[in-house]
Copies of this chain bind each other. A is one copy, B any other.
Amino acid sequence: MENFTAYNPTKLHFGKNVTDKLGETVGEYGKRVLLMYGKGSIQKNGVYERVMQQLNSINAEITEFSGIKSNPLVDDVSEAAQLGKLNHIDVIVAVGGGSVIDSAKVTALSIANNTDPWAIMTFKAKPKTTIPVIAVLTLAATGTEMNGAAVIQNHKTDEKRGYVSPLMYPKSSFLDPEFTYSVPKDYTAYGIADLIAHSLEAYFGEGDATLSDRIIEAVVKEAMEYGPLVLKEPGNYEYRSKIMWAATVALNGSTNHGRKYGDWGVHDIGHNLSYLYDTPHGATLTIAYPAWLKLQKGRIPERIAKLGNQLFGTNSADDTILLLEKFFKSIDCPIKLSDINIGKEKKKEITDQMLQTQINGMVHKLTNEDREKIVELMM
């Protein structure tokens, strides 16, 4: 077991009507609120109205920044930060999924340190402080509601980058499973895929962390049991709850204690696909994971088979990969690039991108030959 620090300062409120305490919580930090959200789905499903009622109940002075894309752009973060500084905001309320909350986290750092957000993402600026972020989650997927990570994309430098800082934990997060009822079937499935992928990135990390491994198996089993059920009954509170909480646990530290770090090679591949084709994050992962496992199966057959044993009762690495593909297909996720209409003619473009950004894992290092092979395996 590796040395580690277990620390997660986010106070997470989970369940029906938990946002009834949102106003009170926001009020602890001040009245000047930057309200960030996405492309307006929260205005259709009633979440916007409920959040506004809460903010109005404390007479908040609200500055709105909306339109954040599902693969969030640093330009939007810059703009939000300018707006936040201009209005001397005390606290950010982020209402949405991973893209909105990630954008809010980096916006908060940018405001508090008076720093360009991309300088933060590229480690050129070292933020020392932040302003509080309160998250209202509307999509079960990334786990950002209870961790210190954010992923942001920059079209000028052709990159999608991740950044982790203890300053970026939301102060509080509000998770009402009912807020995810209106998430469409495809994005519900991508969220399930995402939480499984997060668990697997930890599983294929560095360090003998047996209890964390068992917790990973628990999270993936939960996702595999309730994922198909929630897709059949999107308005079922229990099923939505199970998936929402599993997505949080998949990336709130619980699966990583005793490990040095996860691998995250598959996410690196996925981020590049999202960058090239604006493919939803979850969909890139169900394409990239089988390919990555096929590349690794000769190198770590026992580790893959151990996972297969726990999830599917098989002792074969090959069968584990097949059964994982079968599960992804069963929830209508793509497992090949051709499933999302990206054909052989894009092979060079994708390979060039993977070689240019030198996609890599933190543990299982990839050669250029591996990079080419993975693209082939995804076709």
Asked if A258 contacts B245 (CB within 8 A), the reply is yes
Q: Which residues of B contact A214 (CB under 8 A)?
A: 217-219, 221-222
In the complex the two chains form, is A245's CB within 8 Å of B218's CB?
A: no
Interface range for A: 35 or more
A3 at the interface (CB under 8 A from B): yes
Partner of A3, one of B9, B15, B226: B15
Q: How far is the CA of A339 from the CA of B84 in the complex (A)?
A: 68
Asked if A8 contacts B5 (CB within 8 A), the reply is no
Residues of B within 8 A of A249 (CB): 211
Question: CB distance A1 to B245 under 8 Å?
Answer: yes
A238 at the interface (CB under 8 A from B): yes
Q: Which residues of chain B have C-beta atoms less than 8 A from A248's C-beta? A: 6
- Assuming the A-B contacts A5-B11, A12-B7, A14-B3, are A222 and B241 also in contact, with contact meaning beta carbons closer than 8 angstroms in the complex? no
Q: Does A16 interact with chain B (Cβ within 8 Å)? A: yes
Contact mask for chain A residues 186-206; partner B; CB cutoff 8 A; 1 contact, 0 none: 000000000000000000000
Chain A, 1-26, contact with B by CB distance < 8 Å: what is the 0/1 string? 11111111111111110100000000
Q: A7-B11, A215-B215 are in contact. List 14 more A-B contacts (CB 8 A).
A: A1-B14, A1-B238, A2-B15, A3-B14, A3-B15, A4-B15, A6-B12, A6-B14, A211-B218, A211-B219, A211-B242, A214-B221, A214-B222, A218-B218
Can you list 28 A-B pairs, Cβ within 8 angstroms, ordered by A? A1-B14, A3-B13, A3-B14, A3-B15, A5-B12, A5-B14, A6-B10, A6-B12, A6-B14, A6-B146, A6-B248, A7-B10, A7-B12, A8-B8, A9-B9, A208-B238, A210-B225, A211-B218, A211-B219, A211-B222, A211-B245, A211-B246, A214-B218, A214-B221, A215-B218, A218-B218, A241-B258, A245-B258
